[in-house]
Amino acid sequence: MFNEIISDIKTKVETYAKECGRKPEEIKILAVSKTHPAEIVKQSLLDGIENIAENKVQEAELKIPLLNGLYKEFHYIGHLQSNKINKLLKLNPDLIHSIDKISTAEKLNTACQAINRVQNILIEVNTSGEESKNGIDPILLEDFFVKISKLENLKIKGLMTIGTLTEDVNEIRRCFRQLKYLFDIHKLRNFENISLEYLSMGMSNDYKIAIEEGSNIIRLGSIIYGNRNYNK
């Protein structure tokens, strides 16, 4: 059912990467199946998807246990409320993309300490300047790194952003370029306890631009699973 779509996406990612002199195998594709049931995700895993992502803990709790053994990595990409932390950790997320509050990071660290777990995280940065978006203001990033690098059960692995929702390609590119810039300058700082590897940016409508700007994790939803139905 998904074979064609998935091989088409993989071919495109390969082409876009090569066009800008990058190695396609460095780019991780995450399948974002929000609102679609576990059976659908299962089919996509059988048809070539390797890594999956959810943006709501409640939905992940229903789906992830049904997919055990079928996926390589499970990433959590949504806003994380502190009262959902323990539930999320039970699902063993390989990477949490969306840390944008020191208080959430501290609570996550404490929860990880209690179960003797070291959790890989990304910091979500608001590059669009839209107030409705999650993510920290880029000027706070430095302070964030300093504070979170002291939390021993968290490992900052990189940065994540959501590009501005617009038709304006230049504006989308500006967001991604800013995240790459922040990634590069903080990588040079060599903060203790931090190794920046991942740049999570690019969704169904803008992953080509994201690849051109250096993304190595793209998060694809509707291009794989079709439109979302929030009414079900």
214 or 221: CB nearest ligand PLP = 221
Q: Which stretch binds ligand PLP (CB under 6 A): 13-21, 59-67, 182-190, 201-209?
A: 201-209
How far apart, in whole angstroms, are the C-alpha atoms of residue 97 and residue 14? 24
**H, E, C per residue of 47-76:** CCCCEEEECCHHHHHHHHHHHCCCCCEEEE
Taken in order 109, 114, 120, 126, the sign of the CA dihedral is negative
34 or 186: CB nearest ligand PLP = 34
Q: Does position 41 bind ligand PLP by CB under 6 A?
A: no
Query: Least separation, in Å, of the C-beta of 190 and ligand PLP?
Result: 29
Q: Which amino acid is at 17?
A: A
178 or 205: CB nearest ligand PLP = 205
Residue 156: both structure tokens together: 């900052």
Site for ligand PLP in 133-162 (CB under 6 A): 162
Q: Which amino acid is at 224?
A: I
How far apart, in whole angstroms, are the C-alpha atoms of residue 206 and residue 215? 11
Given 203, 209, 211, 217, the residue binding ligand PLP (CB under 6 A): 203
Q: Does position 36 bind ligand PLP by CB under 6 A?
A: no
What would you report as the CA-atom Rg of the chain, rounded to the nearest whole angstrom?
Answer: 17
61 or 142: CB nearest ligand PLP = 61
Site for ligand PLP in 211-230 (CB under 6 A): 219-223
Residue 51 near residue 71, CB atoms below 8 Å: yes
Site for ligand PLP in 74-103 (CB under 6 A): 77-78
How far apart, in whole angstroms, are the C-alpha atoms of residue 121 and residue 161? 13
96 or 162: CB nearest ligand PLP = 162
- Residue ranges in contact with ligand PLP by CB under 6 A: 32, 34, 55, 77-78, 162, 203-205, 219-223
